[in-house]
């Protein structure tokens, strides 16, 4: 294969769909399987880009919705695009903003968390009955109208406008606007939303092609990944993988509801990845628990992003192989006089320099340095785990490594 090929499979696991690959972007290569750090507002909370480089993180994902609202894509483009603006010079993705439009808008009112819901009727009437600051979503074939969570101003995302925003932001990998459905939606609704997502994908693709290699944008060499939807329903999910997979995107992301249990998620992946082009990268949106990483890699996923590892860190939960669920909570009493590092084998800034007792003290005292140290540790843990997974695939022993981790938890 030529060195300039954007995606190249290096090893295949003989016992599963797992593979190792090299994903080449305009800002460097990603060796996969890889964890993608969540830098929602062009920043991984509490950690500056140079520390991310030091701990070995390869790629980050930022959020189109949040950056559109603040500071705005025009400002970021004027300042040279996301890479130059943030100082993170490595590979970068942006998501479409679709998930945030739906989850921060309507789902909040249902009290169901990561759920997308639609309120097609009179939002002026509804607004009177809702606390100030909550936005609503109005969904049409054209796009999604919503209100800014910052100032309540009306906004509209269309497949075309989101591509333009993402071109101005300048990440290496971008995705089209999609509609995220929730596990509570029935199959009929999920199918209608999926079909609309497919039409939006065509429109996004056309808008992207019009602007492809346009030197006026900060990063002319972007890749566009298609997003597979279809919820946790077999027929729509398989159909979405086939339709989106046939559109010739540079890579593929798997989005939307993955069901209500791990078993359902595994089935969704089994319906999806075999229907996507083998020679393109596959990203799983929003999944990152340790057992999920193994399960998804074995089902042919190359990259993942998940906010949980960094959010857990800020709440005092740090990863440790062999602890229950591979993590310990430093807030708890047993660590008050524990002079050991979190993990003597880790080698991160926190583990090289500080004891569990000191870190626990920082956490309980609300010291800001705790957020930075714990986040660095959790990211470093995932970086090392993904490197171990890549070696295991290369050596044909992924199943053994997965068993070792599952038995240790």
Q: Tell whether residue 346 is a contact of Zn ion (CB under 5 A).
A: yes
Catalytic-labelled residue, pool 13, 123, 305, 343: 305
Sign (positive/negative) of CA torsion 310, 316, 321, 322?
A: negative
Considering only residues 44, 76, 328, 351, which one is a binding residue for Zn ion as defined by CB under 5 A? 351
Residue 377 touches Zn ion, criterion: CB under 5 A: yes
How many residues touch Zn ion under the rule CB under 5 A: the total is 5
Least distance (Å) from Zn ion to the CB of residue 349? 7
Name the active-site residue from 13, 95, 292, 343.
Answer: 95
CB of 348 to Zn ion, least distance (A): 3
Report the nearest approach of Zn ion to the CB of residue 207 (Å): 43
C-alpha Rg value of the chain to the nearest Å: 21
Task: Tell me which stretch binds Zn ion (CB under 5 A): 2-10, 42-50, 174-182, 374-382.
Answer: 374-382
With contacts defined by CB under 5 A, name the span among 221-229, 338-346, 363-371, 397-405 that binds Zn ion: 338-346
Environment class of residue 41 by beta-carbon count within 10 Å: exposed (0-12), middle (13-18) or buried (19+)?
middle
Rule CB under 5 A: choose which of 76, 224, 348, 359 binds Zn ion: 348
| Shortest Å, Cβ 45 to Zn ion | 17
> Judged by CB under 5 A, which stretch of 65-73, 76-84, 167-175, 344-352 contacts Zn ion?
344-352
Quote the least distance from Cβ 289 to Zn ion, whole Å. 19
- Residue 80 vs 322, nearer CB to Zn ion: 322
Contact present, 234 and 280 (Cβ < 8 Å): no
Which one, 204 or 351, has the nearer CB to Zn ion?
Answer: 351
Does position 328 bind Zn ion by CB under 5 A? Answer: no
Q: Which is nearer to Zn ion, 257 or 317 (CB)?
A: 317
Is residue 232 a contact partner of residue 257, using CB atoms and an 8 Å limit?
yes
Pair of tokens at residue 235: 């027929």
Whether 345 is catalytic is: no
Q: Is 95 a catalytic residue?
A: yes
CB 223 within 8 A of CB 251: yes
CB 244 within 8 A of CB 210: no
- Residue 316's alpha-carbon distances to 45, 331, 340, in angstroms, are 14, 6, 16
SS3 123: helix
Span interacting with Zn ion, options 99-107, 135-143, 291-299, 371-379, rule CB under 5 A: 371-379
Burial of 258 (0-12, 13-18, 19+ CB in 10 A): buried
What minimum distance in Å lies between the beta carbon of 365 and Zn ion? 20
Dump the DSSP string for 182-231.
Answer: -TTS-HHHHHHHHHHHHHHHHHHHHHHHHHTT-TTSS-TT-EEEEEE--T
**Residue 173 phi, psi dihedral angles, 5° rounding:** -125, 125
Under 8 Å between Cβ of 285 and 95 = yes
* 83 binding Zn ion? (CB under 5 A): no
Binding site for Zn ion (CB under 5 A): 346, 348, 350-351, 377
Residues classed as catalytic: 95, 305
């Amino acid at each position: 294969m030529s060195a300039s090929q954007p995606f190249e499979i290096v090893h295949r696991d003989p016992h599963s769909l797992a593979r190792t690959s090299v994903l080449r972007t305009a800002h460097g290569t990603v060796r996969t399987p890889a964890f993608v750090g969540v830098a929602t507002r062009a920043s991984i909370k509490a950690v500056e880009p140079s520390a991310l480089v030091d701990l070995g993180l390869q790629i980050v994902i930022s959020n189109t919705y949040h950056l559109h609202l603040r500071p705005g894509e025009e400002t970021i483009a004027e300042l040279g695009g996301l890479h130059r603006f943030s100082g993170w010079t490595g590979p970068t993705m942006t998501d479409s903003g679709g998930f945030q439009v739906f989850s921060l808008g309507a789902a909040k009112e249902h009290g169901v968390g990561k759920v997308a819901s639609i309120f097609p009727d009179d939002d002026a009437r509804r607004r009177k009955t809702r606390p100030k600051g909550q936005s609503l979503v109005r969904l049409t074939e054209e796009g999604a109208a919503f209100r800014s969570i910052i100032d309540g101003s009306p906004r509209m995302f269309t497949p075309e406008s989101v591509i333009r925003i993402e071109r101005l932001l300048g990440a290496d990998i971008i995705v089209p606007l999609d509609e995220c459905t929730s596990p509570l939606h029935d199959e009929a609704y999920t199918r209608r939303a999926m079909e609309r997502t497919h039409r939006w994908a065509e429109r996004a693709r056309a808008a992207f092609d019009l602007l492809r290699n346009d030197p006026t944008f900060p990063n002319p060499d972007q890749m566009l990944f298609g997003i597979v939807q279809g919820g946790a329903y077999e027929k729509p999910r398989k159909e979405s993988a086939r339709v989106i997979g046939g559109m010739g995107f540079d890579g593929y992301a798997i989005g939307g509801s993955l069901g209500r249990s791990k078993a359902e998620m595994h089935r969704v992946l089994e319906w999806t990845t075999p229907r996507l082009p083998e020679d393109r990268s596959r990203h799983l949106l929003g999944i990152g628990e340790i057992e999920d990483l193994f399960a998804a890699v074995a089902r042919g996923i190359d990259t993942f992003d998940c906010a949980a590892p960094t959010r857990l860190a800020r709440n005092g939960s740090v990863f440790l192989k062999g602890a229950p669920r591979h993590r310990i909570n430093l807030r708890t009493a047993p660590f008050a006089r524990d002079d050991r590092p979190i993990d003597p084998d880790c080698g991160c800034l926190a583990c090289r320099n500080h004891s569990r007792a000191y870190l626990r003290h920082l956490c309980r005292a609300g010291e800001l340095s705790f957020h930075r140290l714990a986040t660095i540790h959790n990211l470093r843990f995932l970086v090392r785990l993904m490197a171990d997974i890549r070696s295991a695939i290369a050596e044909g022993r992924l199943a053994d490594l997965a068993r070792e981790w599952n038995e240790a938890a």
